[in-house]
Amino acid sequence: MRRNASPLSLVLLGARVFLLVLAPLLVHYVQPHAKRTPIDTDATTVFTGTGSYFDTSEVETVEDRTITITRRVRGDVADSEKSGNAVWDVSTSVDHDGTLPASDPRDALQWTLERWVTDRSTNEPVHCCEESPTFDGEAYLKFPFDVERRSYRWWDSTLGGVVRLAYAGEREVQGYSGYLFTGEVEPARTGVRQVPGVLVGRKKTPQVLAEEWYSNSGIELVVDRRTGRIINAAIGPKKTLRAPGSKKDAVVLLESGRVEFTEETQREQVELASADSERLALLGTTAPAGAAAVGGVLALAGVVLLVRGRRPEPDEENTHMVTIPRT
């Protein structure tokens, strides 16, 4: 007896093969290529808080003023594509109400321009492409993908060095959960600045090279687990001047107990982190699992149709005529 396979069973078996091949392909090829630091980023984050700063017009430190830190990050697409790394230009300005809005960032209390280069997959620093400054660590403007519950070495640009940030549990930002990392910076000398001697208690010396000191009373970063994006940041910076060799601060240049992402910045960062995290989860977990599950179901359905859906056809060589006797 000859049997014919059902066309539908063959289609289902073919679809099963496709889906079972697709599942590992998504995990081992598509997702790793999607898990890369973007090169076309163009983002602005804003911190605000209350603090003190040295007012050059009054030649003294004024207190209880609004401090705003604005950071603009733009990817250099051309250099990124040429080098294969993420090349970002970062502008950071510190302002008070009198310098905002600023048409020129050089009018701010402080302004820096940096160029960050990192490996797009590992987030490790890459020393090329006119990087400035040369930096170290494993976490900077973002953390690596798939953040772990451990301490990370975070680069502090003001310190010009690495700070150890410890994992401190989970925290919600705008209803979205992330990992919290905390740390602090003990007072450290970061450079020198030429100032009138009277400013640091050296009245008999017209000009001195005063020592610049920096500390940070509390660093708190809330990070999205999958993408490494920082969804909230709070810091407590303090910059002072000391007379050469002195152990005491003579002038406070900038001090704030806490400056933090504005609510608008938090919302923007959460929206970006949520969208990217869902996309990575889809490629790495949901889609492969779904493809494997559907592939299994289709395989079972195809086998059932293949076994049960065939119909016997008459074989002429084995057909016998049956004569019904008359009664």
pLDDT one-digit tens code per residue, 100-147: 876 677 788 899 999 999 999 999 999 999 999 999 999 999 999 999
Q: Write out pLDDT tens, residues 28-54.
A: 444 445 688 999 999 999 999 999 999
Q: Are 115 and 131 in contact (CB under 8 A)?
A: yes
Between CA 212 and CA 216, with CA 213 as vertex, the angle to 5 degrees is: 145
Q: How far apart are CA 13 and CA 301, in angstroms?
A: 8
Q: How far apart are CA 108 and CA 94, in angstroms?
A: 6
SS3 192: strand
Of 250 and 314, the one with more pLDDT: 250
Of 249 and 21, the one with more pLDDT: 249
The chain-wide mean pLDDT, for the chain, equals: 83
Which residues are paired to 77 by β-bridges?
A: none
Which residues are paired to 196 by β-bridges?
A: 207
* Helical H segments across the chain, by residue range: 7-25, 31-34, 77-83, 263-281, 287-308
Query: Per DSSP, which regions of the chain are E strands?
Result: 42-55, 60-75, 86-95, 110-118, 152-156, 161-173, 176-196, 207-223, 230-235, 237-242, 251-261
Residue 164 neighbours by CB distance under 10 Å: 12
